[in-house]
Chain A
């Protein structure tokens, strides 16, 4: 009756294996996914198991034989495969060769050969959970051998070594913290045990051997990696992971481990040190790790559904551990440059005061004696550019981005322009009355015009234009005087298109100036301040994103020493020149993300990629925020106030970093020639790192598009990791789910999401710590023929948080909420309620609250609150009803851990609130309740009966494995008081074998239920002529994600005859199913 089709899928990545240097196979859920890592394409995905997930993949790849064995739980399948190539694109032909279901859990599988010379396997050995081994022929038709270890216990992990049965050994990782190495084919009469490795203080999760089988490593619950040498008592114990270690690989040179702490560590175990700690997964757990056959590439698979690639060669180049990798520049001998005639009049102590970097060519430094020297980095020779007594003891210095001008400022208000290669004569003038606090260059749209800023006491800043059309004769003219309102300017940037100057200050604020004329005598004053963007910490950099800015909106980023970076959008009449308008400019935070616990110092945009620069602990780092990984880090001793970084490309193969420490200048010139062996570090997107607790399809009406699609594939999710995410899948091309936007605003789990359309398209999110937020959604799809990622713009902006209303000390969770737009509801015929939204929220302290959110005032307000039951509330839902007399009522359905559903009429409270008759929050009371379950009701859905406007059809799912349905007839008396005039219910006690977690009514009379038992059931709700209500099971389907806790269902086409729905299920991961009614 229903055709159920599996579509998109993402969940914990439980296994990875390379076929060769180009192709990686991923096991996630029941799927084998094939990737071409040279172009980042997932060219094939096959669901191979009915009710298991892929825990292990073993591959034979030689000229005579190509086999894949995949196992999971008790199932094993063997495939023959053939890789084909057309136009540089791969495809794979996968033929199932054999399949078996065992009695016990499979922990390892190993292809076996007749002898060491053979390259075609004849058998396969399987290590099983109760510490025994079964050997089957390659067609899985005959069990050829079976042996039980003399150590009888459950094992958590097992690893084979050996290519033939006679040489086969097994390492068993027992629950008693011991690694037991034993001979599978025991040729002696005595014990089969070769050696027991004791020392771990927890169970053993994985082991691996070196190629020669002489060493074995093991990882454990005790957070250690241990490397053992066989027939030797000695072991190496390595600490570093901060949580359990799940998987490991051992080579002669390195051990690689992945952990619950979301890091992958590379251990140079021979030197007992950690060579790298790779961070690229989120939330919790990296489950698996694989290495390419040539041992260059490492792949890691996370609990966040992401797959990351790491280049082992980068180990040498991306982590600079000591200053020995850097060029060290000291002052030359003073006698070589200090004029003997001047010497006595100069300060006695000589050292580098300040420096500026001219790309990879020169380092310019000012000394304490007022010398400005240029060090040619290719020859390491220093020469004097300039000397002036006024630069003794103090000087500020900067170089223009075009590297053609050096600017300096001194103690007494002089500024100086110099050419790094003596193209023009030094230009010096007295600009200020006192000390020059700092100087800045800023480029303009004209390559021959450079802006130069200097500021001093009395809050004055001068903005000069330097015309270098003729480099031998730069022309300096004053553009503007700027009135400062802050003591310390940290950074500034100018948008020529909008004539807007943005300034960042020490106390975390953004200050906006507007240029409206060419009058150079005018002193401009701030037109707007955005206060406290980075709390009380310094705002270190402002960078404009030209690709996202338009004539009506200016998009820019700020970074701060609070470790955050923020995306802003400025809009308003001011951008186009109208300064007199009221509210001329509006600045909104579009996104904010915490990158480091240290200082974030700068954001640069290179080839449309955002690189974030900062200091953490004793290192400088470059972080690629688009791909979410650390591109490079350099041990530089700590944070420096004066430093320089520049790169030509986002991969920073060619880059320069310089800093000044202990009277020396250190320069790192990076020039890496090799090609990366894969296209991108991120092979598959990271989704949520913890359980997803809310999922919704985004309706087409929310997407602004010229050519709307029938099925947009957009989803929004909220999770235990407190992230709000926008996701997208391509219904027709791949099972992959891509992350399109990620917002961190909630501090704890997001449990619920709701849409509402008023003046804007709004999203509401709520969850633990009583957090309830309103967001404005702007989604634009420039739907071109070519599906290009950058065509989809998602802005989730302007959040307003509801105030906390519970006592400050309590930690109340919002368990559920539902939203209704009063503008569309039109409860009051006589007024326009557009922009007013109603929210019903259920709390863990047993209260239920009715909130109003008003878009006109951007305010949340509680209008009613009630204790309907003395139990934790689990679900809340609105049901709208219109009666025969055309009156309308809004009813709230509330369920709790007591198994009851409570009915509340919200209508009168809302009307009185809207009419201004409500002076304070009212008590919310229920007019009726019905008992449907023994304990908690985890899912509730309702609708109005098609044939009876006064009848609510209700469906619920309980913790008690039961599914209930009821009809409830509502009647109204003359005082407009609602009551239940009649009801009937039916409970299917054995609906699932575990707790139901959500229910959804679709197509009028069908019901979807999901449960912890990982089944999706479809029921028909039936009401006969005698008003007897019943549930009939139509379909039951195993689902591939665990802990499934919420779902959404949406009709795909608006056409009535098109009976096709998409269902999103989420828990640990996401599964999308398409259901068609035949």
Chain B
């Protein structure tokens, strides 16, 4: 899809460029924040899978103020490097590693995070069961780091926000999260398309169970369906409340909006170019006609 085509189809894509956001997903966090007041009294915050950095950008713009005496500490972690942001401490590392957790904590002067957010998602394959599983595993790989008692990334009472795919086994993930958090809500910001399977899980009031000892080398695994706790089918399933975030006066991500009527419309360049894709060598070879093509 060309830039102007995407601009027509997606008002938030256009808006993000107009307002200087690195990705349209910034609006998702903004709308979730509006609904849940996520940033209230946040002094320590972690953004996992941060690249290209639109959520960190939101944290930076919302939490860091000019002339603040004791500015909140924000740590952004990703495997990929990203362009620097004001007031954001960047760590390039694997979020599933213990050493990364320790590195995060080292920036907090012995304090714990009030808020951990994660907008990460693997490239989807198109096999929904596989994609949902990998997304859940990403989240569950993050959880030990977020909730690790020995390294105390998230403080008791803290909040965790992450992207989920509301697929066929989502109740298994809900069941698991409900062990650690008092309030679990599934939230869909209006800037996330109606037609998209993506949603966000907002987990509030972290209360780790007493006998829970997380262990990095033995990650949490999905629950199974069983008749007493979470049924495969029917009413006895673990379902969390749903909340549509963002008010109805905001733009509709599904709606086609006309471009400027006076023909003043100019497609803007994206704020941040896409990160290098895995197939860049293949593309380069195709351009230079080196592909081993049979036709």
Give residues in A with beta carbon < 8 Å to B.
12, 14, 50-53, 55, 72-74, 101, 103-105, 129-130, 148, 152-154, 156, 175, 177, 200-203, 205, 220-224, 238-244, 246, 260, 265, 272-277, 284-285, 287, 303, 319, 616-617, 619, 807, 809-813, 843-846, 870-872, 874, 897-899, 934-936, 938, 959-962, 989-990, 993-995, 1012-1015, 1033, 1036-1038, 1042-1043, 1068
- Cβ of A1012 and Cβ of B197 under 8 Å apart? yes
Given A935-B190, A935-B194, check contact A960 B244 (CB 8 Å): yes
- Cβ of A222 and Cβ of B279 under 8 Å apart? yes
Given A154-B137, A222-B278, A935-B244, check contact A274 B225 (CB 8 Å): no
- Cβ of B255 and Cβ of A51 under 8 Å apart? no
- A-B contacts, 24 of them at CB < 8 A, read A74-B222, A222-B282, A246-B125, A303-B126, A807-B258, A809-B8, A809-B258, A845-B257, A872-B252, A872-B255, A897-B194, A897-B254, A936-B194, A938-B194, A959-B188, A993-B170, A1012-B167, A1013-B166, A1036-B233, A1038-B168, A1042-B129, A1042-B167, A1043-B128, A1068-B128
Q: How far is the CA of A1033 from the CA of B186 in the complex (A)?
A: 22
Can you list the 3 inter-chain pairs with the closest CB atoms, starting with the nearest? A202-B278, A1042-B128, A994-B166
Per-residue A-contact encoding for B261-295, CB less than 8 Å = 1, 0 else: 00000000000000000111110011000111111
Please report the total number of B residues contacting A with Cβ < 8 Å: 66
Q: How far is the CA of A601 from the CA of B92 in the complex (A)?
A: 58
Within 8 A of A (CB), among B243-257: 243-244, 248, 252, 254-257
Chain B residues with CB below 8 A from A104, complex form: 221-222
Q: Say what secondary structure dominates the interface of chain B.
A: loop
Chain B residues with CB below 8 A from A200, complex form: 278
Closest B-chain residue to A809, C-beta based? B259
Chain B residues with CB below 8 A from A812, complex form: 256
- Cβ of A51 and Cβ of B254 under 8 Å apart? no
- Cβ of A810 and Cβ of B243 under 8 Å apart? no
B262 to chain A, nearest CB (A): 13
Chain B residues with CB below 8 A from A303, complex form: 126
A392 to chain B, nearest CB (A): 40
- Cβ of B279 and Cβ of A223 under 8 Å apart? yes
Q: How far is the CA of A809 from the CA of B127 in the complex (A)?
A: 35
Given A274-B293, A1038-B233, check contact A990 B239 (CB 8 Å): yes
Chain A residues with CB below 8 A from B292, complex form: 238-240, 272-274
- Cβ of B167 and Cβ of A1038 under 8 Å apart? no
A175 to chain B, nearest CB (A): 8
Q: How far is the CA of A241 from the CA of B291 in the complex (A)?
A: 8
Q: How far is the CA of A1015 from the CA of B225 in the complex (A)?
A: 14
Q: How far is the CA of A845 from the CA of B258 in the complex (A)?
A: 8
Chain A residues with CB below 8 A from B224, complex form: 74, 101, 103
- Cβ of B234 and Cβ of A1033 under 8 Å apart? yes
Chain B residues with CB below 8 A from A872, complex form: 194, 252, 254-256
- Cβ of A1033 and Cβ of B235 under 8 Å apart? yes
Chain A residues with CB below 8 A from B166, complex form: 993-995, 1012-1013
B194 to chain A, nearest CB (A): 4
Closest B-chain residue to A132, C-beta based? B218
Chain B residues with CB below 8 A from A260, complex form: 126
Residue B183 is within 8 A (CB to CB) of chain A in the complex: no
- Cβ of A240 and Cβ of B167 under 8 Å apart? no
- Cβ of B286 and Cβ of A844 under 8 Å apart? no
- Cβ of B258 and Cβ of A240 under 8 Å apart? no
Interface centre among A55, A104, A284, A995 (most CB of B within 10 A): A995
Contact for A154 among B134, B234, B243, CB less than 8 A: B134
- Cβ of A73 and Cβ of B256 under 8 Å apart? no
Closest A-chain residue to B280, C-beta based? A201
Q: How far is the CA of A1015 from the CA of B243 in the complex (A)?
A: 21
Chain A residues with CB below 8 A from B127, complex form: 12, 14, 287
Given A845-B258, A1015-B233, check contact A993 B174 (CB 8 Å): yes
Residue B242 is within 8 A (CB to CB) of chain A in the complex: yes
Chain B residues with CB below 8 A from A617, complex form: 295
Residue B232 is within 8 A (CB to CB) of chain A in the complex: yes
Q: How far is the CA of A104 from the CA of B222 in the complex (A)?
A: 7
Residue B96 is within 8 A (CB to CB) of chain A in the complex: yes
- Cβ of A277 and Cβ of B294 under 8 Å apart? yes
Chain B residues with CB below 8 A from A272, complex form: 292
Chain A residues with CB below 8 A from B221, complex form: 103-104, 130
- Cβ of B255 and Cβ of A284 under 8 Å apart? no
- Cβ of A51 and Cβ of B278 under 8 Å apart? no
- Cβ of A989 and Cβ of B242 under 8 Å apart? yes
Within 8 A of A (CB), among B114-148: 122-123, 125-130, 133-134, 137-138, 141
Q: How far is the CA of A244 from the CA of B243 in the complex (A)?
A: 36
Closest B-chain residue to A201, C-beta based? B278
Residue B43 is within 8 A (CB to CB) of chain A in the complex: no
Per-residue A-contact encoding for B190-202, CB less than 8 Å = 1, 0 else: 1000100100000
- Cβ of B282 and Cβ of A1013 under 8 Å apart? no
Residue B227 is within 8 A (CB to CB) of chain A in the complex: no
Closest A-chain residue to B137, C-beta based? A154
Closest B-chain residue to A279, C-beta based? B295
- Cβ of B243 and Cβ of A239 under 8 Å apart? no
Q: How far is the CA of A723 from the CA of B96 in the complex (A)?
A: 44
Closest A-chain residue to B241, C-beta based? A989
Chain B residues with CB below 8 A from A810, complex form: 8, 256, 258-259
- Cβ of A203 and Cβ of B167 under 8 Å apart? no
Residue B178 is within 8 A (CB to CB) of chain A in the complex: no
Q: How far is the CA of A265 from the CA of B244 in the complex (A)?
A: 46
A215 to chain B, nearest CB (A): 19
Q: How far is the CA of A120 from the CA of B256 in the complex (A)?
A: 62
With A104-B222, A202-B278, A239-B290 given, name 4 new contacts (CB 8 A).
Answer: A130-B137, A154-B134, A220-B278, A1012-B197
- Cβ of B188 and Cβ of A935 under 8 Å apart? yes
Chain A residues with CB below 8 A from B170, complex form: 993-994, 1013
Chain A residues with CB below 8 A from B197, complex form: 994-995, 1012, 1043
Chain A residues with CB below 8 A from B295, complex form: 277, 616-617, 619
- Cβ of A811 and Cβ of B256 under 8 Å apart? yes
Interface centre among A55, A898, A936 (most CB of B within 10 A): A936
Closest B-chain residue to A156, C-beta based? B134
Closest A-chain residue to B276, C-beta based? A201
Residue B237 is within 8 A (CB to CB) of chain A in the complex: yes
B68 to chain A, nearest CB (A): 36
Residue B152 is within 8 A (CB to CB) of chain A in the complex: no
Q: How far is the CA of A1004 from the CA of B255 in the complex (A)?
A: 34
Chain A residues with CB below 8 A from B122, complex form: 175
Q: How far is the CA of A898 from the CA of B194 in the complex (A)?
A: 11
B79 to chain A, nearest CB (A): 9
Closest A-chain residue to B221, C-beta based? A103
Contact for B129 among A73, A152, A156, A813, CB less than 8 A: A73
Contact for A129 among B137, B216, B294, CB less than 8 A: B137
Within 8 A of A (CB), among B204-233: 216-217, 219, 221-222, 224-225, 232-233
Q: How far is the CA of A772 from the CA of B243 in the complex (A)?
A: 35
- Cβ of A239 and Cβ of B126 under 8 Å apart? no
Chain B residues with CB below 8 A from A935, complex form: 188, 190, 194, 244
Residue B41 is within 8 A (CB to CB) of chain A in the complex: no
Chain A residues with CB below 8 A from B37, complex form: none
Q: How far is the CA of A274 from the CA of B292 in the complex (A)?
A: 6
- Cβ of B126 and Cβ of A284 under 8 Å apart? yes
Given A73-B129, A240-B291, check contact A1042 B9 (CB 8 Å): no
Q: How far is the CA of A974 from the CA of B196 in the complex (A)?
A: 47
B91 to chain A, nearest CB (A): 17
Chain B residues with CB below 8 A from A72, complex form: 129
Chain A residues with CB below 8 A from B90, complex form: none
Residue B171 is within 8 A (CB to CB) of chain A in the complex: yes
A844 to chain B, nearest CB (A): 4
Closest B-chain residue to A811, C-beta based? B8
Residue B19 is within 8 A (CB to CB) of chain A in the complex: no
Residue B5 is within 8 A (CB to CB) of chain A in the complex: yes
Q: How far is the CA of A82 from the CA of B122 in the complex (A)?
A: 42
Q: How far is the CA of A1015 from the CA of B291 in the complex (A)?
A: 44
- Cβ of B133 and Cβ of A73 under 8 Å apart? yes
- Cβ of A962 and Cβ of B242 under 8 Å apart? yes
